[in-house]
A = this chain, B = another copy of it.
Amino acid sequence: MKDLTITGTYTDLYQLTMAQVYFLTGKNNDEAVFDYFFRKLPYEGGYTVFAGLGTFLDILEDLHFTRADIDYLKGIGLNEQFVNSLESFRFRGTIYAAREGEVVFPNEPVLRLQGNMMEAQIVETLLLNILNFQSLIATKAARMRTVAGDRTLSDFGLRRAQGTGGYHATRAAIVGGFDSTSNVKAALDFGIPAVGTMAHSFIQSYDDELAAFRDFAIHRPENCILLVDTYDTLKSGIPNAITVAKEMHEHSQQLLGVRLDSGDLAYLSKKTRKMLDEAGLHEVKITASNQLDEWVIKSLLDQQAPIDIFGVGTSLVTGPPDAALDGVYKLAYAHRKPRIKLSENLKKITLPDKKQVYRMINGEGNFFGADVITLADENVPDIMYHPVEPDKSLEIKGLTSEPLLHKVMDQGKIVFTPSLKEIAAYCQERLNMLPDEHKRFYYPHIYKVGLSEKLRHKRDEMKKYYKK
């Protein structure tokens, strides 16, 4: 099969045609600064979890064009000198970014990339592809974590994932707060606990359910979870599981749990808990799967469903009803000048120049609910301004502030490498600092993102210049 390793051609063709023009006009080594940001929060929610940074930087550090890439590009009409120059292509830029796992908001730069025009352009597609997707899935996972409390959340999604996208979906799920995965390859590569139960086919392959349960318990007693809905959950599956659990006890083993995969999960989990408890099997856990998402999990727990482990598939790894985070990568500085993109829609005018973002922290050490975007060399201002409504401002004087963007890559070398565990812990720490009103599923409170006076002035002056 084709090897899916990402190389320089993992990009849109226009990145290369533009790079060719920069190359042929001698502009390829001029400094360019791009911002990565998104405009719309997924799920009509109150926040986004920033994820994928580690993956992106890992790929970027090694990114190069292979012999096959070079030969192909020569064959599709690109300039030969330019294509030859790609043989020695390495990304040597510098990147400032929010920490992976950070809670972030619309229109603020989440990442700032500084490099030469050519390299900054070529890596755009890769950056957007990785960060947009993992941030979407980490956000979905975080929403489930906020309603699941300390119950176990497991990713069961690979079979319904968008092809190999499932691999990084699992990583992002862990960033957002999931505990484990059924995806063995992701577990291996990312050091995530791998978990699994059994499928209906295993039970169907036996003439009766009890014999199937027994064989499984004998030959795979560790972490044994029995699937109880192949024929009839309450009349067959649970009684047979209880029989096997008692037999395991006689061998000093313990049934870890049962799994419900159809029917009404609230009703069945209550009945199941009662039957297990009456058999003295208080320690046997209940796993539920089948069409779960954050709304269903919340609703099941609101109804006191005694479920210990949620196995989440499609909705976790593909993130519906949203299909993508709308993250974009916009030029802010090039050829020694700040740059701007205009639009009829005031909200879509970009913010020029190199920028920083400061998060305001209140007296209790929680987020105040306001981030301010400044020029990169400015101090934190006392007042921040609404990005589009000229008369709206907010005093932020006296609050503690933290810069969001930190150097994570220096001239092509990664300089900050937290483990996935640390990233996931950071995400929960930051979500805990985010007031509850921003975590509501319905009409969450809007987190404010404003501009410094200096940045606003620069944007407005440039707008005037280009409008004339």
The answer to whether B343 and A18 have CB atoms under 8 Å apart is no
The answer to whether A159 and B188 have CB atoms under 8 Å apart is no
Binds B, one of A163-171, A302-310, A438-446: A163-171
For the complex, is A278 an interface residue (Cβ under 8 Å from B)?
no
Residues of B within 8 A of A337 (CB): 207
The answer to whether A162 and B158 have CB atoms under 8 Å apart is no
A residues contacting the other copy or chain, number (CB 8 A): 113
Report A229 CB to chain B, min CB distance, Å. Answer: 8
The answer to whether A128 and B160 have CB atoms under 8 Å apart is yes
Which of B17, B117, B204 is within 8 Å of A198, CB to CB? Answer: B17
The answer to whether B188 and A72 have CB atoms under 8 Å apart is yes
Report the separation of the CA atoms of residues A197 and B16 in the bound assembly, to the nearest whole angstrom. 10
* Contact bitstring A119-138, B, C-beta under 8 A = 1, else 0: 00100110011101110000
Which of B27, B219, B343, B344 is within 8 Å of A205, CB to CB? Answer: B27
Copy tally for this chain in the complex stands at: 2
Report the separation of the CA atoms of residues A160 and B136 in the bound assembly, to the nearest whole angstrom. 11
Which of B25, B58, B195 is within 8 Å of A219, CB to CB? Answer: B25
The answer to whether A13 and B184 have CB atoms under 8 Å apart is yes
Known: A5-B4, A21-B202. A11 touches B184 (CB 8 A): yes
User: Which residues 233-292 of A have a CB within 8 angstroms of B?
Assistant: 262-263
Residues of B within 8 A of A9 (CB): 184-185, 188
Report the separation of the CA atoms of residues A58 and B198 in the bound assembly, to the nearest whole angstrom. 27
The answer to whether B342 and A231 have CB atoms under 8 Å apart is yes
User: Which residues 324-382 of A have a CB within 8 angstroms of B?
Assistant: 324, 326, 329-331, 334-335, 337, 339-344, 348
Residues of B within 8 A of A18 (CB): 198-199, 201-202, 216
Binds B, one of A315-323, A405-413, A449-457: A315-323
Report A215 CB to chain B, min CB distance, Å. Answer: 6
Report the separation of the CA atoms of residues A200 and B35 in the bound assembly, to the nearest whole angstrom. 13
Nearest to A291 among chain B residues (CB) is B326
For the complex, is A391 an interface residue (Cβ under 8 Å from B)?
no
Which of B62, B164, B197, B231 is within 8 Å of A14, CB to CB? Answer: B197
Q: List 21 A-B contacts (CB under 8 A).
A: A1-B62, A2-B189, A11-B158, A11-B184, A12-B182, A13-B187, A18-B198, A18-B201, A21-B215, A68-B188, A77-B223, A129-B163, A164-B164, A200-B330, A200-B341, A204-B334, A204-B339, A204-B341, A262-B344, A314-B324, A318-B324
**13 additional A-B residue pairs with CB within 8 Å, beyond A72-B188, A232-B342:** A4-B6, A7-B185, A9-B188, A17-B220, A133-B162, A160-B323, A161-B162, A162-B165, A164-B165, A201-B339, A231-B342, A262-B348, A321-B321
